[in-house]
Structure formats: C-alpha cells, structure tokens
C-alpha cells in the first residue's frame, strides 16, 4: 500500500458532464501530482501542487482544473467530458527535496459514454 488514496475507483458518466476525482496524499507529503494514463498515450503529466499552490502544468486541457486544499488533499475536476477523456487518472505524492520518488494511488478509471 503506497499510502496514497484515490476515490472513486470507477466512474461512468456521459459526454458533456462534469466529474470530480479526489486524492489524499501520503501522510507528510506536501506535493501532489496528477497523471492521465490511456492505452495509446502512456502516463501523461497533468499538473502538480505543492502545499496548496500550483507548481507545474503539463498537458492539461482547459476543461480540466485542479486544486489542493489546506488539509493537502487534492481534487481534479473534469468538465464538458468527451469520449476521449476516458482513461485512468492517477494521483501521486512525494516528500520535499530532490531525493524522493513519486508514490502512486490506484487510480480512478473514468469511462465517458
């Protein structure tokens, strides 16, 4: 068990809808990362938060947004969903400093119909 918790495990929704994915990082980790994994794209970095502030952005669509709350849990909001947004969404966390790797949760599987 990595200590990173993601909910829900599965989400099925229709095109045009909006969903929220939730992540609780490992105890003590201030950084939260969101990744998208689809069959043809591999693990793609979306966005990173550190102690409540956005630190880095990757290939995140404008329809997607995220935030990190004072208790350090994070939410990824996906809106105006399209069929192509169907994927696994992973959250990862790590401690401060260079010498720390990412630890992943078990992801949320999103299916857009």
Q: Where along the sequence are the contacts to another protein (CB under 8 A)?
A: 2, 4, 6, 33, 35, 42-43, 45, 48, 55-56, 58, 90, 92, 98-99, 101-107, 109
Nearer to another protein, 20 or 45 (CB): 45
Among residues 67, 1, 60, 65, the alpha carbon closest in space to that of 32 is found at 67
d(CA 16, CA 50): 30
Give min distance, CB of 49 to another protein, in A: 10
Nearer to another protein, 33 or 64 (CB): 33
CA 60 to chain centre: 11
> 107 φ, ψ to 5°?
85, 165
Nearer to another protein, 21 or 107 (CB): 107
């Amino acid at each position: 068990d990595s200590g990173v918790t993601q909910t829900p495990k599965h989400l099925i929704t229709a095109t045009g809808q909006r969903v929220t994915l939730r992540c609780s990082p490992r105890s003590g980790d201030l950084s939260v990362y969101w990744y998208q994994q689809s069959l043809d794209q591999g693990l793609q970095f979306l966005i990173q938060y550190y102690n409540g502030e956005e630190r880095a952005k990757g290939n995140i669509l404008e329809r997607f947004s995220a935030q990190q709350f004072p208790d350090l849990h994070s939410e990824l909001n996906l809106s105006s969903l399209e069929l192509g947004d169907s994927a696994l969404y992973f959250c990862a966390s790590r401690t401060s400093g260079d010498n720390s790797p990412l630890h992943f949760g078990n992801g949320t599987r999103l299916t857009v119909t």
